[in-house]
């Protein structure tokens, strides 16, 4: 699979990495424990089996919309197949529009059964993951927000990239020249 992700500006990335460190220091699940050189704070927009030429064409248009200012709204927890602790992002019209553009690009040239339903614009919840684990309820009942620094203000999404989950390769998706 190929993910389509947005990266944060330097100051926001440092704030997320500080949150990761604090969670790890407290013995909680944290993205800081993920030691891959490709691990960086990001916002996942979609995933698809491959980046075909039509998808790449549309993603280049989406990349031209960056940088995009965003606003963090606080801590959120998800219990999907994994327990996730994250900082939520406000879904304003600009972010919703960019996400819809990316979703429509991948949906236009991918088998529907290969798309993650959580990325569908009617279900998508923009967030930056701070920690995740397969243990259900790992963050429930904990005083996690007190451990974390304040979310970064202001923040911007500055770069579009793709991550290949099979090879581990990263690719920056740039606007057309």
User: Residue 43's beta-bridge partner residues?
Assistant: 6
Output the pLDDT for position 69.
98
Task: Give 106-152 pLDDT, tens digit per residue.
Answer: 999 999 999 999 999 999 999 999 999 988 878 876 678 788 988 88
Task: Give 85-116 pLDDT, tens digit per residue.
Answer: 999 999 999 999 999 999 999 999 999 999 99
The model carries a pTM of 0.93
Q: Using CA of residue 143, residue 144, residue 147, residue 150, what is the dihedral sign? A: negative
Task: Give 26-85 pLDDT, tens digit per residue.
Answer: 998 999 988 777 789 999 999 999 999 999 999 999 999 999 999 999 999 988 778 899
Output the pLDDT for position 154.
87
Phi, psi of 94 (to 5 degrees): -65, -45
Contact 37, 25 (CB under 8 A): no
């Amino acid at each position: 699979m190929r993910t389509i992700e947005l990266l944060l500006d330097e100051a926001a990335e440092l704030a997320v990495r500080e949150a990761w460190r604090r969670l790890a220091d407290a013995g909680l699940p944290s993205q800081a424990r993920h030691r891959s050189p490709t691990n960086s704070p990001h916002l996942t927009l979609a995933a698809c089996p491959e980046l075909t030429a039509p998808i790449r064409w549309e993603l280049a248009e989406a990349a031209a919309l960056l940088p995009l200012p965003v606003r963090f709204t606080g801590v959120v927890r998800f219990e999907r197949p994994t327990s996730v602790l994250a900082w939520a992002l406000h879904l304003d019209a600009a972010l919703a529009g960019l996400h819809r553009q990316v979703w429509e690009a991948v949906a236009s040239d991918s088998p529907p059964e290969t798309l993650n339903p959580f990325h569908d614009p009617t279900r998508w919840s923009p967030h930056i993951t701070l920690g995740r684990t397969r243990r259900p309820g790992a963050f429930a009942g904990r005083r996690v927000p007190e451990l974390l620094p304040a979310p970064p203000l202001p923040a911007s999404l500055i770069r579009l990239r793709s991550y290949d989950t099979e090879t581990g390769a990263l690719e920056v998706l740039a606007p057309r020249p």
